């Protein structure tokens, strides 16, 4: 393109409980960025396409059992295996929009009763997201959107504990979005925030998560 290079790409992460609308908002943001001519990559974790991701998929679908710490480490390894690609995309000035990241990793394992610091350790040092959008929804409201699916963790009681851990992980720089608002309204809020902060982030070196 003839557009001058703007510096590195921006790493944007979406987090939230099941049925909070993460995937919809990721798609809407990716489509929007493409429509204004930006290079954008859409990633999601778990990435079920890799060998590690296949093991995670089997675990989530209940066809295999894995020890809690072991599955936690696989989720983390599944992020680490994509780090070279993420870094390359960002170096090339591409926006990287990610559906779930290390915060899901911590929230879901800590919700089983494990220590938050232990849960954070394997993901320490990952590329630190520039922006984290948290789609906030009560477990009750999430349930009114239809019953949960068949996968492991898709139970109201467990999701309630996941939400409690997310509350502990949230820091001031998280952008908390009311997930009960109209999806177009949410999308506008998200894209405005991103466009406002883009230039600032593109000039700051990428940081390392939890270091
Ligand atoms: P998905 O529905 O977004 O594909 O995610 C699958 C499930 O995996 C979801 O219940 C959240 C859970 N999960 C973890 O337990 N640890 C992780 O690190 C990630 C990314 C997801
Ligand atoms: Mg799911």
Q: Are 162 and 107 in contact (CB under 8 A)?
A: yes
Query: Measuring from each residue's beta carbon to the nearest atom of ligand 1, which residues come in under 6 Å?
Result: 45-46, 60, 75, 100, 104-105, 108, 153
Could you tell me the distance, in angstroms and rounded to a whole number, from the CA of residue 37 to the centre of ligand 1? 31
Nearest CA to ligand 1 atom 18: 105
Nearest CA to ligand 1 atom 2: 18
Q: What pTM was computed for the model?
A: 0.96
Q: Is the pLDDT of residue 1 over 60?
A: no
Return the pLDDT at 2.
45
Task: Give the pLDDT mean for 59-64.
Answer: 98
Q: What is the interface pTM, i.e. ipTM, of the complex?
A: 0.98
Q: Is the pLDDT of residue 16 over 80?
A: yes
Q: Is the pLDDT of residue 5 over 80?
A: no
Q: Are 65 and 59 in contact (CB under 8 A)?
A: yes
| Cα dihedral value 75, 161, 20, 50, nearest 10 | 10
* pLDDT tens digit sequence for 34-61: 999 999 999 999 999 999 999 999 999 9
Nearest CA to ligand 1 atom 14: 105
Return the structure tokens found at 22. 């993460």
Could you tell me the distance, in angstroms and rounded to a whole number, from the CA of residue 18 to the centre of ligand 2? 7
Selection from 139, 152, 69, 65 nearest residue 110 by Cα: 69
* pLDDT tens digit sequence for 116-157: 999 999 999 999 999 999 999 998 898 888 778 889 999 999
């Amino acid at each position: 393109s003839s557009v001058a290079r703007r510096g590195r790409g921006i790493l944007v992460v979406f987090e939230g409980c099941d049925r909070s609308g993460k995937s919809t908002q990721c798609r809407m943001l990716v489509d929007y960025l493409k429509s204004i001519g930006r290079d954008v990559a859409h990633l999601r974790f778990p990435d079920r396409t890799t060998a590690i991701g296949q093991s995670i998929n089997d675990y989530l679908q209940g066809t295999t059992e894995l020890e809690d710490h072991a599955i936690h480490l696989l989720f983390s390894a599944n992020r680490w295996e994509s780090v070279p690609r993420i870094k390359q995309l960002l170096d090339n000035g591409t926006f990287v929009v990610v559906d779930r990241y290390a915060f899901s990793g911590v929230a879901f394992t800590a919700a089983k009763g494990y220590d938050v610091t232990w849960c954070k350790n394997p993901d320490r040092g990952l590329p630190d997201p520039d922006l984290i959008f948290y789609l906030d929804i009560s477990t009750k409201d999430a349930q009114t959107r239809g019953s949960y699916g068949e996968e492991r963790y898709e139970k109201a009681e467990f999701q309630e504990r996941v939400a409690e851990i997310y509350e502990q992980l949230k820091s001031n720089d998280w952008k908390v979005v009311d997930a009960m608002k109209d999806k177009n309204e949410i999308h506008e809020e998200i894209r405005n925030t991103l466009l406002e902060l883009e230039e600032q982030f593109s000039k700051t070196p990428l940081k390392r998560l939890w270091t």
